[in-house]
Every structure is written in C-alpha cells, then in structure tokens.
Structure 1
Amino acid sequence: MSVPAPPGDQQPTGRPDGAGRDPWAPPPPGAEPVGPAPYPVVAPWGAPQPRNGMGISALVLGFTGVVLAAFIVLFWLAWLPAVLALIFGGIGISQARKGVATNRGMALAGVLLGGLGLLISTASLIFTVVLVDKAIDHARTEIKEAKASAQASRKAEAAAEKARHLAFGETYTFSDGLKVTVGKPVPFTPDEFANGHAEGNKAIEVTVTVVNTGEKRVRIKTGLPDVSDADGASAELVIDGSGRQKVLDGYVLPGRTMVGAYAFSLPPKAAGRAEVEFSPDAMELDDAYWSGRLGH
C-alpha cells in the first residue's frame, strides 16, 4: 500500500501560477507572455543624423551658377558657384553611397547644374571674347578709315589751296560757275584829282575778267579786289575822275562776260611784286590769289 506524499511536497500540475517563479526569468518555451505588450524600441539618444548639407549646398550653388551664367554681363561670376556645386555634389553623392546621406538625387542635380553653369559660362566667355575682338577690329578699321579720310581731306584741302594760288593771267573757276582771270597789272597814271595816291608811289591798274560758265545768272556781290604789295601790306585804292575804273557789280548772265578795272597805289620800295585777292562772293566763296612780278 503506497503512502501519499505530503501536501507540501506536491508539484503543481498544468499552468504555473507564478507564485514561486523568478519574476525576472524569461517565460518557459511555449508560454504566452503575461501582462501588457512591451513599448516600441526607441533609438538611443545621439544616433547619427543624415548628412544632407553637401547635396543641398550643391543644388543651391548649381542653380546660382546657371542663373549667373545666363546673363552675359555676369558670366564671369558663375564659375565659382558652379565649381563649388561640382565639388559639394560629388561629396554628397559619395556620402549617399556610404549611407550617411539620403539626398543623392539632390546632390546629383547640383552636379548637373554646376556642369551646366560652367558650360554656359565658358560659352559666354568665348562669345564675349569673339565679340570684343570684332569690336576691336571694327574700331581699328574705323580709326584707319578716319585717318585715311583725314589725310585725303588734308590733301584735298592742300590741293584746293594750291589751286587757288595762281599767276597773273591764269584762270580760276569758282563753285558758282564764274571763271575769273586777273591780268598782269599795268602802270596807271592818276589825274590831278586822284584820291589815294601819294606822290612818289607807283600806281598800277588791275583788270578782273569774269565769265559765267553756268546755266543760271550769277550775281557778283563783292567785286572789289584786295591788292598787297611785295611786303604784304595792303595797297590803297586809287579813285580819280578819269572814269577808267569800273567796279564789278550786278548779275552775269550765262555765257556773258563782265570786266572790272581798278587802280591801286604801291610804295616805291614795295612795287616790284603784287598779289591780288578776289572772290565774286566773299561771304560764300573762298578767295583766289593771283601774284607775280611787276614790270617797269
């Protein structure tokens, strides 16, 4: 006959009530956890954050480089942000590959924009250099043409000035179509009532012949010549009562001729040479000059 075990030595059967179990021990296999569900696992304080600064900087700098490069006058400012965008973008892509950054697309966009900014900036530089070179060539061409024109103008003026200096007996045609000839002065004897002639001076007579070669009548507005002696001093006009002097005045019809005669008094020492200055319109036309030695 078996003896039953004492009550205190009996082992519990079935599911333990947990009164004698270590509360910190893990539950036995297959046992369901008792109590509320555990809280979610939280990353400990100080965990590394994504390093996205390089990608953001690359994108901003790349965009800035493209904007600056788009303006011709500011292209020279675009290279610095564009280069920095390439550098920062490369670093951002490298960090994304290592898993320490999460904005690889932003870094790649910064690299592309930086390259585009450099490309546009380089194209703008080439365009500016070509434009400046053409402008310089154009300016040089204009300077050469201006110099050539000025030189030609000086030569033309010199030729015109030379053409307006003639010897007695030669003919000069003015722009209004009047052809003027000043003959060689001849001696003139004033009468006793002459004015402008001093005793001992030498009086000469100057003849001016005007022919209208144009198709319209032309008015002679200043038909009085100016005579200088050999010393360059103006000779004095002689007026007497002989009626031999004739002043050019009025209109000269086409194909017609008008002749004027004037007397001048020259000092004896300066009577060896004379110059006659004449213009049919002193206000509009340059004077022509006739000169030469005087006979005895």
Structure 2
Amino acid sequence: MTDPANPPAGWYDDGRGALRYWDGTQWTEHTAPLAPADQGATAAYPATPADQTPTAVYGTAPLADQAPTQQYSAQPYGAAPSGAAAYGTTTTMSPPPAPGAGGEPSGPNVVGIIGFVVAVVGFVFACIPFVQVVAWILLPIGFILSIVGLFLKGRKWPAITGLIVSIVGAIVGAVVAAVVVFNVFGQLVDSGVIQEEIREGLESEFGTPVPTESATEAPEESVAPTEGLAFGDTMEWEDGVTMTVSAPEPFTPSDLAAGADQAEDLVFTLTITNGSTENVQPVVLSTLSSGGTEATRIIDVGAEGGQVGIPPTTPILPGESITWQEAWSVADAGSLTMQTAPSFSYETVVFTNAG
C-alpha cells in the first residue's frame, strides 16, 4: 500500500534537471527529460514504468532519503509538475537501434563482389600451366578491388573473401609455375639440350672444339618423318611412345572462353600412349597455322564436357595413355598445319590437312 505520509507514485522533478519516477516509497532508476517551460501545460508524462521494483537509489543522500513532498504539495494529485507531462499519458520516445545497427551494412558491396569474382577466375587460371599469364593479370586486379571494397559501404565478406582468394591464388600459381619450370628444365637436361648449349658456348669462347661424351657414337634420337602426317594418323617414336591428333571438328566456345577471335573455331583430340619402359613427363607446346596465318589457342574452362585447351601435366606411366582436347580459332579450316610433340625429348611431328 502507499504510505499516506509519502506522495503517490508518479513522475516528479528530481532537482537535477530531469523527471524521475517515484514509486510511492522511494526514487527509482527511471528518468525522462523535462519539457521546456513554455510547453509545460501541454506536454504529457512519460508512461508509467512496467517494472517498478525498487532499485539502487541514484545520487546523494538528499535524493535517496527525501520524498518529493515539495513538488507533491505544490500540485494537486494527478496534475503534472511544472514543466512535466500529465500523469498517465505517454510521450513519443525514439526506439533503440535495431540489433546489429552500427555494424556491417546490409546493402550489397558491388566493388567487393567484382573483386571476389575476378580473384576466383584468376585462381582458376593460376592452377593451369602455360596459361598462367592470365592469372597474373586477374589476381592483382581482384586483390586491388577487394581492398577498395573493404572501405566502401555494404557487406564486407565478398571483399574479404576476394582478398584471401587472390593471395592464395598467387601462391598456388607460383608453385604450379615452379613445378612446370622444373619439369621443363629436367626434360632439357635429359635431352642434352643444355649440355649442347654449354659446349657451344665454350667453343665460341675458346675457339677449341669441346669433345662430348659420345663423340664417337651417333646420337640416338627419334626422327620424325620429313613429310607431315594427316590428321587422324599416329606418330610412333623409336622408344615406343606414340601420339595421335584427330581430325578437326567445329567448336562452340562457352561464355568463359578466351581466344576465339578468328573466322572459325575448331577442336582437336590429342592422345599420347607410353609404349616405352620409362615414365613420360608430357610437356606439350603445340602450334597451329591456318592458310599461312597463325591460329589462336582457345582456353575454355566452361566448355561442355570439361575444360578445353589445358595440356596434360601428369606423368604417363609405361603402358598408359592420356587424352585431352585443344581448341583453336583459325582463318581457314581447309588449310591447317599443326606441329607438336609429347615433350622436348621427342622430335616435333607435323599433322596437316593441306594437300
């Protein structure tokens, strides 16, 4: 019950420039701003607090121990104190900020999304030997766009993810490039190309012929035929390794293709079969001319049936084969000449459909 010696529960001026709720026995923690003096007659009281459980008293001892008798006696019961709102009515209060307000904005971050997409495409090319030059262009662009996206309004996760993907892509691309260079260098060493270059350099420097390890022996090299093979034929080298290039077929590039810039697009199916007794590390660098014009290699990671234009890098074990497709954009499909070989250890073979 309300103590008759105390004022009834209500909002009163606490003497500190604000309204405070009196629960009938003591001051509570609920406060509200005082209305301007010229609005005191029309302003409304704040709503009665739902929870009126007595709480720790604010301020000094006079506020804690003294009931608002002066204010109570100066005004009739139920009337609003001077400069305050009428008892029992409500005032409009600004709602608290929604959860997460002030945190990450909910709108799209266009620059961050573009940086993420570019970084992902660059990562794909970074994993593909011999076409990594595309990755070294896309990855820095994705990295820069992702950094810019971090400072723009909108969701940050695309920019953060693009930043991570571009960094990881650069690392993966460097590793793949190092492996390819190492394999090519090994092929050159095994084939004697490097030794021959060193020998010629010494001879040009000192003017004296440098003997080779097999000066008295004829070099054992596989010799390709002087005339080109027809597309669909199979070339066999002396160690039993064979290579076949199929006849060209029309090719329709996907939206992700790069290099389709001439009159016609063709695709070839290439197969290497290891008939030797040792592993064959494929390093295939094919070239194609069309009517005297160099054809453009097409790289299509979104082609139907799988990637097109990606040469193999997996070692071929004895007795096994590997097959892949190469797509080219050509000026004249009726006059084609392709030069290719399984690796640097083998003489280049020519496939053609020119009469």
Same fold (TM over 0.5): no
What's the TM-score bracket when you normalise by the shorter of the two chains? 0.3 to 0.5
- In the superposition, the TM-score normalised over structure 1's length comes to 0.41
**Larger relative CO (CA 8 A, sep 6+): 1 or 2?**
1
* Higher normalized helix content (fraction of residues): 1
- In the superposition, the TM-score normalised over structure 2's length comes to 0.34
